Amino acid sequence: MTIFLNRLFRGRNSQWRIVLVLIFISLSLWGNAQDLIILRDGKRIQCTITKVDNDVIHYTFMKGDRELSSYVAMSDVKSYDKKVSDDVTPAFRDSLPASETTTVFVDTTRYVKETQRWINMITYSQRLGVNATGWSVQYYGYHFRSSLRWYIPIVFGIESMTIDQEYFDRSGYQYLNMNYFNAGISPFYKLNDVFYLNLGAQIIFGEEELQDYRGQESDRSFFGIAPSQGIYFIPKSKFGVTVGISAYEKLMTSKVYKSDIGLKFELGIKF
């Protein structure tokens, strides 16, 4: 560095060279003295912060040879670096630790307005079980609050299943007609704004008509439980398309369709 400066300052144009070096040093110091605002979307603003209050950061910046003023809402700010100097307000200076540069991380959660509303979803699902296959229609209804992670929808559903013939033959009956519905809860855990884990538990209630190989007919009621575990895509918008995939299990007191496990592919609308 010393050799470079000696060469730079020699010769007929040494005075101009000295001026250029001083300008370069001044610009470097001015650039280093800049404050920095980092927005939540990643944008960086090199500026001079002039005032900070609860809702807004005021700042100035250079555009060409003009100094302009602007501001940014605190809710859009992730953090900001302020060079502590005598030109800041006393209240702002006293609120910061004594250091040449102070990085302040903004808690934006207090600027986010909580959203509350009732959510309705109607879905159609295709069921692929070990002992039966078919389809179902479900209704989900729950109270949504943006500040919560867990939501507990109430669920009602009907389904139509075709029992595997080999499984049916082991029952000892030649005819079966079943009618039943599901009701229960289906808690969602929010992973992020659109993806949710689901842990459901529904009660099954229905009736069945039976006929054995001797021709004897009987009518009876049956009960059951149907837990499920899955993951769902639910859009943030008020209206939208939902998609889910779940594993399900069934245990019932039916004389024929006693148990099952399988996968459920679900498609629906949110409103």
State residue 76's pLDDT score: 87
State residue 14's pLDDT score: 57
* 266 class by beta-carbon count within 10 Å (0-12 exposed, 13-18 middle, 19+ buried): buried
Instruction: Give the residue among 126, 118, 124 at the shortest CA–CA distance from 138.
Output: 124
Least confident of 18-32, 61-75, 116-130: 18-32
Give me 193's structure tokens: 């704004």
State residue 33's pLDDT score: 54
What is the C-alpha to C-alpha distance for residues 2 and 6, in angstroms, rounded to an integer? 6
Instruction: Give the residue among 88, 11, 76 at the shortest CA–CA distance from 41.
Output: 76
Distances in Å between the Cα of 226 and the Cα atoms of 96, 125, 164, 184, 201 are 57, 15, 19, 9, 6
**Are 37 and 80 a contacting pair, CB within 8 Å?**
yes
Q: Which is it for the CA torsion 86, 88, 91, 94, positive or negative?
A: negative
Q: Which is it for the CA torsion 195, 201, 202, 208, positive or negative?
A: positive
Asked whether the whole model's pTM tops 0.75, one would answer no
The CATH number that domain 116-270 falls under is 2.40.160.20
State residue 30's pLDDT score: 46
State residue 82's pLDDT score: 82
Question: What value does the mean pLDDT take over residues 37-53?
Answer: 90
- pLDDT beyond 60 at 208: yes
* 31 class by beta-carbon count within 10 Å (0-12 exposed, 13-18 middle, 19+ buried): exposed
Give me 156's structure tokens: 């009602």
Selection from 29-38, 109-118, 215-224 with the highest mean pLDDT: 215-224
**Are 186 and 140 a contacting pair, CB within 8 Å?**
yes
Question: What value does the mean pLDDT take over residues 122-130?
Answer: 98
Between these two residues, 41 and 19, which has the higher pLDDT value?
41
Chain mean pLDDT for the chain: 85
State residue 108's pLDDT score: 62
Domain 33-110 sits in CATH 2.30.30:
yes
Least confident of 32-41, 139-148, 159-168: 32-41
Question: What value does the mean pLDDT take over residues 113-121?
Answer: 89
pLDDT tens column, 242-268: 999 999 999 999 999 999 999 999 999
What is the C-alpha to C-alpha distance for residues 262 and 238, in angstroms, rounded to an integer? 31
* 102 class by beta-carbon count within 10 Å (0-12 exposed, 13-18 middle, 19+ buried): middle
Between these two residues, 110 and 202, which has the higher pLDDT value?
202
Cβ neighbours around 78 below 10 Å, total: 15
- pLDDT beyond 50 at 29: no
User: What percent of the chain has pLDDT above 90?
Assistant: 64
Question: Using the 8-state DSSP alphabet, how is residue 165 labeled?
Answer: H
The residue count of the chain comes to 271
Identical topology for domains 33-110 and 116-270:
no
Domain assignments of the chain as residue spans, ordered by start: 33-110, 116-270
pLDDT tens column, 183-199: 999 999 999 999 999 99
